[in-house]
C-alpha cells in the first residue's frame, strides 16, 4: 500500500460523542473520551516480541508487543498519530496463515509510552482476554478500528492504571457497535489471502 493510500486509510471520523467529565492526568480517570472510528479498519499482522515486561508485572495489563521491524508496523508507527486505539486481535495459525479464532477485543498503545520515557516507538496490544501462556514468536493479526485518546504522561502508576482500566471499558463499549465492520473486514482479508 502506498504511503498516501495508507494515510487515507488511517484518517479518523467522529463516532457518537460521549459525556466529558474532566481531563487531569494526575487524578483517577473521570473522563470518558470520544471514540473516533478509522475511515477504514487498519489490519496489521506481525510477530509478537518481548517488551519491557511492565504490562503484566507492574500494571496488570499484559501486552503483546508487535515487532517494529515488520514493515506494516513500522509504517503504522509513522502514519498513525501517537495514542491509544481500540480494535480486535487474533492469533494466526503458523502452518496455514489463517486466523485462529476467536477475535478478542483489544486496546493498543501506539507511540513512545511517555509515562516510562521509552526511547523508541512501540506498538503494544492488550487483548481483553486471559491467556494461560504468552505467545512470543507467534503471529498476531490486529485490526485497528478506533482512536480513544492521545498518549499522555501520567504523574503516577495509579493514574496510568486507572486510565488504562477506563480505556478498556470505553473500548469494549465502542467495539460492540463496530463488530459488524470487523466481520466484513475479516472476510474480505481472508478472501484476499487465498
pLDDT tens profile 143-173 = 999 999 999 999 998 999 999 999 999 999 8
Question: Residue 132 — φ and ψ, nearest 5°?
Answer: -80, -25
pLDDT number for residue 68 = 95
Give the span between the Cα atoms of 11 and 6, in whole angstroms: 9
pLDDT number for residue 95 = 87
Residue 14 vs residue 143, higher pLDDT: 143
The contacts of residue 188 (CB under 8 Å, 6+ apart) are none
Give alpha helix (H) positions in the chain: 3-9, 54, 71-79, 157-193
Give the span between the Cα atoms of 119 and 176, in whole angstroms: 35
Supply the CATH number for residue 87's domain.
2.40.30.30
Would you give the distance in Å from CA 62 to the centre of its chain?
Answer: 13
The residue annotated as part of the active site, out of 93, 124, 132, 151, is: 124
Q: Which three cell numbers stand for residue 50?
A: 518481548
Q: Using omega within 30 degrees of 0 as the cis cutoff, is the peptide bond preceding 181 cis?
A: no
Does the active-site annotation cover 124? yes
What does each C-alpha distance from 87 to 21, 119, 120 come to in angstroms? 24, 26, 23
Number of domains making up the chain: 1
pLDDT number for residue 122 = 92
Give the span between the Cα atoms of 174 and 78, in whole angstroms: 25
Domain that holds residue 170: 3-193
Residue 159 three-state SS: helix
Please report which confidence band the pLDDT of residue 26 belongs to, taking 50, 70 and 90 as the band edges: very low
Amino acid at each position: 500500500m502506498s504511503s498516501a493510500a495508507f494515510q487515507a486509510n488511517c484518517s479518523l471520523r467522529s463516532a457518537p460523542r460521549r459525556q466529558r467529565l474532566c481531563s487531569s492526568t494526575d487524578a483517577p480517570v473521570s473522563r470518558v473520551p470520544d471514540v473516533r472510528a478509522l475511515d477504514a479498519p487498519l489490519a496489521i499482522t506481525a510477530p509478537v516480541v518481548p517488551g519491557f515486561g511492565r504490562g503484566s508485572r507492574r500494571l496488570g495489563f499484559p501486552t503483546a508487543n508487535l515487532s517494529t521491524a515488520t514493515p506494516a508496523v513500522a509504517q503504522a508507527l509513522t502514519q498513525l498519530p501517537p495514542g491509544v486505539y481500540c480494535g480486535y486481535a487474533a492469533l494466526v495459525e503458523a502452518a496455514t496463515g489463517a486466523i485462529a479464532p476467536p477475535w478478542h477485543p483489544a486496546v493498543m498503545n501506539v507511540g513512545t509510552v511517555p509515562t516510562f520515557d521509552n526511547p523508541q516507538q512501540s506498538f503494544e496490544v492488550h487483548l481483553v482476554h486471559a491467556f494461560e501462556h504468552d505467545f512470543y514468536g507467534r503471529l498476531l493479526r490486529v485490526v485497528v478500528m478506533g482512536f480513544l485518546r492521545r498518549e499522555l504522561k501520567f504523574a503516577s502508576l495509579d493514574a496510568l492504571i486507572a486510565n488504562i482500566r477506563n480505556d478498556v471499558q470505553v473500548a469494549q463499549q465502542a467495539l460492540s457497535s463496530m463488530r459488524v465492520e470487523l466481520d466484513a473486514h475479516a472476510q474480505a482479508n481472508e478472501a484476499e489471502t487465498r
